[in-house]
């Protein structure tokens, strides 16, 4: 996969040289290139922003600078670049975007070329997304959560890391991706423990020391269900009861959730 990240603070993305993403870059699994947006400015001051039409606070990033940058990294400026053959997916982080989830990460992990456009100030002129969509480019305006950051770089780190770890060869043991929170089961992960078996008066549950794989599997599943009930009832409401076994349903019933009309509902009606 190729990923181009464009930012006015390219040094912000230095963290992508570390850890598993850094190793994936070194191994050639991900061809990650970070660009300084100011490369594509055309004035002495290397200006990337201007005042908003209609007035108001703050500055808006200019579409012409962004257009030159995106055309250059996708080869559209010469018509001979990488994207003559490979479709690009433009990711625009913004708090007004659709929420970035594990499902979004999975979808993006299937792409061959991502371009991440990191906004600053009041964001990027809306015509940039509109223009590339009209040109047939897939454009995803994505929010990493309901809060406002100063710039898109942190969101780019989030998106690139979440996507990169789904690429074959990035996470050493692919099994570790299977039971994770937000996976196919639609549950949070069960609590995890390591040595020592007793610490600060707290003991690791006996079952995990039993070596009995079936009982461990069942305990973990029960804990995942209970934890999801306690922390993310919205996720319980999204479960399909048909995918749950009788034991799952019994655990959920203890927690006050019951199947009703093809969904799970809390018995107190909340
Ligand atoms: N005026 C914008 C609004 O209210 O929607 C906020 C702009 S924010 C100060 C500047 C930049 O930070 C955005 O263009 C975007 O790149 C990034 N950003 C801020 N919060 C974000 C979030 N929750 N998710 C993704 N990107 C975010």
pLDDT for 175? 82
CA 108 to ligand 1 centroid distance, Å: 20
Prediction pTM value:
0.95
SS3 content of the chain, % helix, strand, coil (to 5): 40, 20, 40
Ligand 1 centre to CA of 109 (Å) is 23
Residues 6+ apart with CB under 8 A from 11: none
Do 24 and 83 belong to one domain? yes
The pLDDT value recorded for residue 270 is 63
185 within a domain of the structure (yes/no) = no
pLDDT at 268: 81
Average pLDDT of adjacent 10-residue blocks, the chain of 270 residues: 98 97 96 98 98 98 98 87 75 98 98 98 98 97 98 98 96 84 94 98 98 98 98 97 97 97 87
Q: Is residue 112 part of a domain?
A: yes
Residues 68 and 33 in one domain: yes
Return the pLDDT at 269: 67
Which structural domain range is residue 95 located in?
2-174
Residue 268: both structure tokens together:
């107190």
**Structural domain includes residue 238:** yes
| Ranges assigned E (strand) in the chain | 2-7, 31-36, 49-50, 60-61, 88-99, 113-117, 138-143, 198-199, 202-203, 257-260, 263-266
Task: Give the pLDDT score at 267.
Answer: 86
Looking at the fold, whether 160 and 46 belong to one and the same domain comes out as yes
Q: Are residues 14 and 142 in the same domain?
A: yes
Contact 239, 245 (CB under 8 A): no
- The number of helices, as runs of H, and strands, as runs of E, in the chain is 8, 11
Q: How many whole angstroms from its chain centre is CA 195?
A: 31
CATH code, 233: 1.10.1270.20
Q: What is the best residue among 6, 104, 115, 123 to mutate for testing ligand 1's pocket, by most ligand atoms within 8 Å of CB?
A: 123
* Residues 6 or more apart whose Cβ sits within 8 Å of residue 208: 193, 216, 219
User: Based on the domain organization, do 167 and 203 belong to the same domain?
Assistant: no
Domain-embedded: residue 138: yes
Within 6 A (CB) of ligand 1 lie: 93-96, 118-120, 122-123, 143-145, 147-152, 155
Contact predicate 96/126, CB 8 Å = no
CA-nearest residue, atom 1 of ligand 1 = 122
Q: Rounded to 5 degrees, what are φ and ψ at 114?
A: -110, 140
Which atom of ligand 1 is nearest the CA belonging to 143? 24
Q: Are residues 55 and 145 in the same domain?
A: yes
How many structural domains are present in the chain?
2
Q: Give domain status of residue 243, yes or no.
A: yes
Instruction: Give the CATH number of the domain where residue 140 resides.
Output: 3.40.1280.10
């Amino acid at each position: 996969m190729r990923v181009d990240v464009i930012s006015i603070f390219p040094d912000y993305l230095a963290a992508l040289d570390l850890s598993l993403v850094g190793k994936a870059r070194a191994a050639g699994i991900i061809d990650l290139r970070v660009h300084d947006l100011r490369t594509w400015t055309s004035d002495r001051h290397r200006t990337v922003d201007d005042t908003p039409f209609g007035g108001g606070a703050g500055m808006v990033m200019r579409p012409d600078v962004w257009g030159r940058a995106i055309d250059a990294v996708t080869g559209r400026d010469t018509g001979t670049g990488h994207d003559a053959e490979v479709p690009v997916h433009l990711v625009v982080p913004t708090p007004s975007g659709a929420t970035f989830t594990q499902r979004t990460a999975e979808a993006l992990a299937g792409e061959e070329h991502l371009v991440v456009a990191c906004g600053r100030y009041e964001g990027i002129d809306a015509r940039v997304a509109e223009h590339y969509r009209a040109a047939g480019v897939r454009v995803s305006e994505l929010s990493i959560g309901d809060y406002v950051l100063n710039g898109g770089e942190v969101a780019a780190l989030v998106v690139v890391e979440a996507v990169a770890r789904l690429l074959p060869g990035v996470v050493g043991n692919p099994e570790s991706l299977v039971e994770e929170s937000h996976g196919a089961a639609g549950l949070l992960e069960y609590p995890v423990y390591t040595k020592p078996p007793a610490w600060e008066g707290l003991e690791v549950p006996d079952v995990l020391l039993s070596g009995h794989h079936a009982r461990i599997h069942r305990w973990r599943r029960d804990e995942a269900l209970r934890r999801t009930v306690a922390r993310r009832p919205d996720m319980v409401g999204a479960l399909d009861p048909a995918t749950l076994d009788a034991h799952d349903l019994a655990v959920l019933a203890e927690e006050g959730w019951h199947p009703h009309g093809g969904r799970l509902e809390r018995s107190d009606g909340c």
